Structure 1
Amino acid sequence: MYTLTGLKLKNPTILAAGILGTTGASLCRVAHEGGAGAVVTKSIGPMPKTGHSNPSMVKLDCGFLNAMGLPNPSYPSFIQELEIAKKDAGVPVIASIFGGNPAEFKEVAEGLLPAKPDAFELNVSCPHAEGYGAAVGSNPCLVEAITAAVKDIVNVPVWVKLTPNVSDITCIGNAAEAGGADAVVAINTLKGMAIDIESGYPVLGNRSGGLSGKAVKPVAIKCVYDLYTALEIPVIGVGGVSSWQDAVEMMMAGAAAVQVGSAVYDRLDIFSEISTGIEAFLQRKGYSDVKKLIGLAHEMV
């Protein structure tokens, strides 16, 4: 058993927001069949959103480019799905929420409280939803205010998911910590774009979107490394993790746990594969506990 911000996880792998998190049944499937130590829902907001027009996702040689636009049914319509996940998943269920200002974040968090999520993850980092995500998450003052607003009304851990599309991610991380965050999650997708050379048109319906997958791992590693040095609260690493080796590298950079997103498209049991690989690595190295890996790279300088 592994403890993270007071939550008990069977292993340090977590389903990232936006992947198989739209229904309670899919969240349960990731927990039972995939072996995830915890699951995060699709980001839920104050009002229904249809998202951007298709094509909203495209596979690249180096990962995925998506511009979903935060489609969601709104929090009143998602409570039932959250209740299903809480009842049957058997692992901590974290509600990912978004809004355009502190009041909206507070409204959504308060609205989902009856379903008793184990924690909240504040999405202040989506790069392709106008007025939401990174639009507010690039402002340290707003991040601190949003975090404080949610912390004021909930009695469960609050994680803040950070955008890498800023000049200094530690500045945003410090703001989240100042607002009372129990952990930060780093990182969300990088701004990206693809163009069809035959037609000259951008491939995505929204023209630009967010890059995820293996290509972003070096960026995520650096962000986690820097945040580990700058913050007192745990850093949860996400971005390009597709093997146990990636997870170990992320933890050595300072991640207390790892989230997996794009790799789930290839195989659902990636969580079990990663946790088994980590255990074998610990035994081979003679480490008594997975916590021995966290921040190990900082001791090598």
Structure 2
Amino acid sequence: MKILFSILLLNFTCLIGSALAQGGFDLWVVETSGKPGNLKIHPETAFALTDRPEYDNQPSFINEYQMVFSAADENENYDIIVYNFNSKKFTNMSRTSDRNENSPMITDCGMYISAVVSEPDKKQRIWLYPVSFEQAELLYDDIEPVGYYDWYNNKAAMFVLGEPNSLVYARGRNDIIDIDQEVARSINKRPKTSEITYLSTGEFRNVGDEKALTLKSYDIESGERAEYSFGLPGAEDFIWLDKNYLLMAKGNNIYKRKYTDINWELVGTIESETHQNISRMAYSEDLDVLVLAMERK
């Protein structure tokens, strides 16, 4: 489903100010070529899509030509921003002064942009923002504080902060599946499957003075569990390029592997005098681009 945004353009470059507590992050774009199994990254094409002291992070593609991300203004207020790769323009999906929106993404049905919202009373829950720009709706009133999440079958798998943290899937209001308690921050549905995948903080191997976390899977339909070897040592963010290939980054290096393989293959290094430490990523096979969140030096 294509989503058309018809709201006033945000003068994005005017959002200036001091770096936030979360740190200054910008989004970079780099061109790719080939299918996921033979993906090539072209570092010479890399450029900064945003360039501000504030926080621009958590990119996610919502259709063939648009991406959403979370951005902070000079008052440390976080909104959902849409970037259109065709028009090369930014727009506000939200503009709220009493709450912060993070981790935006499209829902399975394509009718909403979901986000983790830090509400005025400090609750942190998932809200749905209709693409028709009607009033936002609260999804689960009794599940919080949510940190990260992804979707399967129009229901959310959520990293819920607590003692201990937990990963749950809300099959129904009184039907909550407890998946795991030792979970890193990256929660991703494996494409074209019913699997929720994550990196386990409880099972890892030591590589020098760093931990390589085990990549785990829970199948919502069958209840089966699986392990797909280890993530990169010292890294917690991963994405699926398709149902077979994964992407992770460490420092300014980007790595790929098939989920059945053990070793990670270096596919590109982003050279920059101003940015470092790639974290969250978003990939578009339609546009042949990879979007990277990078920390300002």
Fold match (TM-score > 0.5): no
TM-score normalised by L of structure 1:
0.29
Going by fraction, where is helix more abundant, 1 or 2? 1
TM-score normalised by L of structure 2:
0.29
Higher RCO (CA-CA < 8 Å; seq separation 6+): 1
Going by fraction, where is strand more abundant, 1 or 2? 2
